[in-house]
Amino acid sequence: MKMTIAGVTARAAVLAAGLVGVSLPAIAAEVNIYSYRQPELIQPLLDAFTAKTGIQTNVIFADKGLAERIQAEGENSPADVMLTVDIGRLDGAKQLGITQPVASDTINSSIPAEFRDPEGHWFGLTSRARVIYASRERVEQDTITYEELADPKWKGRICTRSGQHDYNIGLFASMIANDGAEKTEEWLAKLRDNLARKPAGNDRAQVKSIYAGECDIALGNTYYMGLMQTNDKEPEQKEWASAVRIIFPNTNDRGTHVNISGMLMAKHAPNAEQAKALMEFLASDEAQHIYAETNHEYPVEPGVAPSEIVKAWGSFKPDTLSLSDVAKNRKKASELVDAVGFDNGPAS
């Protein structure tokens, strides 16, 4: 059983209580992880790390607020490593001042420059493409661009989750970086008017809506398709997924927008050496293969193949825009979403 962070803190308190002269067994090496990634998605990686190094892992999971928690805990924070999704959360943690740079030739040789912070404060581990889910029955075309989503031919045929969700903000920020703020605002207004309904639900819900005939295309992340296609606990999701195929936008020009899951070391990491060992392991071939097979994401390390399910979706050209440039435009993207009333839906 993994030791909880509370257990680690309690044990530290006992040691600090002044047990001078008392002979105690050596404390096993460990690393404390604050994770936005669901435990079942990262446990195979942590098990492999412990088997390889003997270093134990202690995990706290939450879907929000972990960066702010580390900030509030300050120098007393037990956090060593934070795992998260989306460039926004990675860059946001750096802006909060809760990270420290990590210098590692091992990590840098595995992770391409576009997937890591120039100053070493965060590193991507896997990528996911923001693609078009398209009805197999009602959409014939095989190519599309993000810009084309503003075409009147799609009026009443598009579904998406909230424009303010991190995944969409990342895409819209990339549009600003590529096309400029003014054109992106015009595009967002036209995309809003092409929606079949107000933005709602998660990416899986968009696939369900296509299956139900509520819309014909939707914005979504690639890995959700893999999770639905292999979901034995909820077989209805397999049925939804079977009605939809993936189209990679902008393959014939700048490429499809990609975002990342990633890692960082906490500013006051009490187990910095072990934390660095974990980060180097997560960047390794072994861990990249585990990620690919478990989560249906794309490894960021060149040469590590995606899973067979992911391969079946076909190859695509990723946008090579630096994620640091995407992060710089996130605030403006959020402002534009509100400016056009995107989440109010069509005819707003």
Binding residues for Fe cation: 223-224
Radius of gyration of the chain (CA): 22
Determine contact, residues 74/94, Cβ cutoff 8 Å: no
- Residues belonging to the binding site are 223-224
Q: Tell me which residue of 136, 134, 150 sits closest to 218, measured CA to CA.
A: 134
- Please name the residues in contact with 153: beta carbons below 8 A apart, sequence gap of 6 or more: none
Determine contact, residues 157/216, Cβ cutoff 8 Å: yes
Beta-bridge partner residues of 261: 85, 126
First to last CA, the chain: 52
| Dist CA 92 CA 264 (whole Å) | 11
| Dist CA 120 CA 104 (whole Å) | 9
Strand, helix or coil at 302?
Answer: coil
Sign of the four-CA dihedral 132, 135, 136, 140: negative
Token pair, residue 234, equals 């909820």
Determine contact, residues 235/140, Cβ cutoff 8 Å: no
Determine contact, residues 167/221, Cβ cutoff 8 Å: yes
